Structure 1
């Protein structure tokens, strides 16, 4: 049940590249966090240069205007090992598919709980039915 927001500079990526980014994120989520394949909720935001700020050298990582901010809201419970392997896999896969520099893949995971979600109809669906293992992980 992750919800993904991806922000980038407008006109930086083509429609095909954005599709590859979307697919790369989903593949890494499925592989590392056991997210169900059909559990895909993503929003992409293109920003004008006047709306997009970042440090080009923070923590000695050289960033470019190809920077992607990827914010993933998901159920808590992942281990540090799962998270760090997810970061590596995502940067490597996006670097190969788009291409994008691994240094330009900026990820933030935001943990929350089942009661923090409604998938529509004003119902907390994850509370009102037994969860499968994949949903618990998602």
Structure 2
């Protein structure tokens, strides 16, 4: 049930690359966080000059205009180890498959609870879901 927002500087990624990014994020969520394969809710936002800002070297990471901000809102409960493994694998896979720089993969995980989700119809479906697979 993760909801993913990806922001990037306009004209850095074409439709094909955005599709690859989407697929890679999804595959790594399946592998590292046990998210169902068909649980895909992603929004991509391009930003014009003057709408996209970043530090080019904060914490010793040299970023470029190819920077991707990847914000993932998901159910709490992942371990620090899972998160670190996810960050590493996501950056490596994006770097190898696009290609792009690992330094330009900026990820923020936002934890929340089942009652924080409505998938439509004005209902909190996750509160009614069976126990199986509820670690999404």
What band does the TM-score fall into relative to the shorter chain? over 0.9
CA distance in 2, matches of 1:37, 1:45: 23
Measured after TM superposition, the shift of residue 85 of structure 1 is 0.1
Measured after TM superposition, the shift of residue 49 of structure 1 is 1.6
Q: How does 1:57-72 map to 2 (within 5 A)?
A: 57-72=57-72
Considering only aligned residues, what root-mean-square deviation do their CA atoms show, in Å? 0.7
Paired position in structure 1 for 2:18: 18
Q: Once superposed, which parts of structure 1, at least 4 consecutive aligned residues long, lie more than 2 Å away?
A: none
SS in 2 for 1:126: helix
Paired position in structure 1 for 2:135: 137
CA distance in 1, matches of 2:49, 2:85: 31
CA distance in 2, matches of 1:131, 1:6: 30
Measured after TM superposition, the shift of residue 129 of structure 1 is 2.9
CA distance in 1, matches of 2:129, 2:91: 35
Paired position in structure 2 for 1:35: 35
TM-score, length-scaled by structure 2: 0.98
CA distance in 2, matches of 1:129, 1:93: 32
Measured after TM superposition, the shift of residue 131 of structure 1 is 3.3
Q: When the two structures are aligned, how many residues end up with a matched partner?
A: 136
Paired position in structure 2 for 1:84: 84
TM-score, length-scaled by structure 1: 0.97
Measured after TM superposition, the shift of residue 34 of structure 1 is 0.3
CA distance in 1, matches of 2:74, 2:131: 15
Paired position in structure 2 for 1:126: 126
Measured after TM superposition, the shift of residue 48 of structure 1 is 0.4
SS in 1 for 2:128: coil
Where does structure 2 lack aligned partners over 5 or more consecutive residues? none
CA distance in 1, matches of 2:102, 2:14: 18
